[in-house]
Amino acid sequence: MSAALAVIIFVVAFFFIATEKADKVKTVLIAAGLMAVLGLVPGDEVFFSPHEGIDWNVIFLLLGMMIIVGVVKHTGLFDFLAIWSAKRSRGKPYRLMVMLMLITAVASPFLDNVTIIMLVAPVTIVVCARLGIAAQPFLIAEVLASNIGGAATLIGDPPNIIIGSRAGLSFNDFLVHMAPIVVVTFLLFVLGTRLMFRSALRGNSRSIESVMALQERRAIRDPALLVRSLIVLGGVVVGFALHSVLHVAPSVVALLGAGTMVLVSGLDIGDILREVEWATLVFFMGLFVMVAGLVHTGVISAIGEAATSVLGDNYFLAATSLVFGSALLGAFVDNIPYTATMAPVVEDLVAGTPDPQTGQGLWWAFALGADFGGNGTAVAASANVVAIGIAKRAEQPITFWQFTRYGIVTTVFTTILAWLYVWLRYL
């Protein structure tokens, strides 16, 4: 009975989010409240358990990076990069889109896809405003690229951190096994964007001429603050790269960086906090509680156990199910709690494999499905939700279905490539 109630609440809430018949933040808060009142989440443990509640590592990582980005915005750096990008692309929309996607995909494996979206999205909004074109297609393309690129390393996408910890996989393991398929997938995706976004790739000749005449250096409003901010940001990037060596969580790195940034900026704390996407953070908290209801009532584990009993020792079928099943489920349930919940199920499957290569193949199938499934819908991954929040704040709203119609196509295409890769290399 409790499992059925949890599923009903989740499905109804997802319906309102998908159809945008109600504000998504209000929807998740009401759904989370119902889960708590009906006893479908584990009491006050929902505030302490990342597996059955709010993952504060994700929340504080986002908060820290929002504060950092808020300080950097005051330097004029985003305006500088926007003008530089527009001039380098000669104002041609597709060339600009490729440039921004390349920056995003290359940076995501080392800075994590949520962080890079926070840094690149403001630049994109400014440059599109300068060129007189809609920012939404460019933001969507960047998010899709970030979820693909972030799959390449241990720290590039939050599900990878969970999988690496559970399976004992290192940064180099991810680089060797995930990077090859990520590179191929990204290159094909770039070619595909020409077709997917063709209607949006029309420039405005007058705006291009005006942008080409701009001097990007004049956009920097506070050079001294820019230098200090870049030093702090560089330290945060190094902290992310070494977090597994230093045994410091990425969220702690982000919060330390945010505190240092506030300290060296000399800006009013009220001005900085106004830049934080509070609605996005609250949405994530509510979403985590909604998923906790599915976990606590056994819905997710029942799906995993059913899959395990059906698959038996057919490891080709197991890998296929992990790639496509993770992509499908991860598209509707945020891929962070989904990965945390399913990781023990995959561990049991791997334990029964006849050789290490097959076992590793199952882990990589799981990772690729979860990462690429993050493109499936507007709420499937943290980067998606963050980008949509930034777009709304900039009065360039992206609807659920506007994102999802591109995300579904990308997920199907990338998941098929991932399945072929796992089959050829491991099975």
How close are the terminal C-alpha atoms of the chain, in Å?
40
Residue of 275, 285, 250, 287 whose CA lies nearest to 378: 287
Taking only the tens of pLDDT, the chain with its 427 residues reads: 888 998 899 889 878 876 767 888 899 899 999 998 888 888 777 888 766 778 787 788 778 888 988 888 888 887 777 777 777 777 788 888 888 898 888 878 876 677 788 888 888 888 888 788 888 999 999 999 999 998 998 777 878 877 887 787 777 788 889 999 999 999 999 999 998 988 777 766 666 666 666 677 777 888 899 899 999 988 987 887 777 677 887 788 889 999 999 999 888 888 888 878 888 788 878 888 888 888 888 887 777 677 667 766 777 888 888 899 888 887 777 677 677 667 767 877 787 777 778 888 899 999 999 999 989 888 788 788 889 988 988 888 998 889 999 999 999 999 999 999 999 998 7
Q: Which residues contact residue 248 at a Cβ distance below 8 angstroms, ignoring those fewer than 6 apart?
A: 239
DSSP label at residue 112? -
Q: Max Cα separation, the chain?
A: 66
Say what the pLDDT of residue 210 is.
65
| 324 to 34, 312, 403: CA distances (angstroms) | 31, 17, 20
For the entire predicted model, the pTM comes to 0.76
Tokens encoding 415 = 């998941």
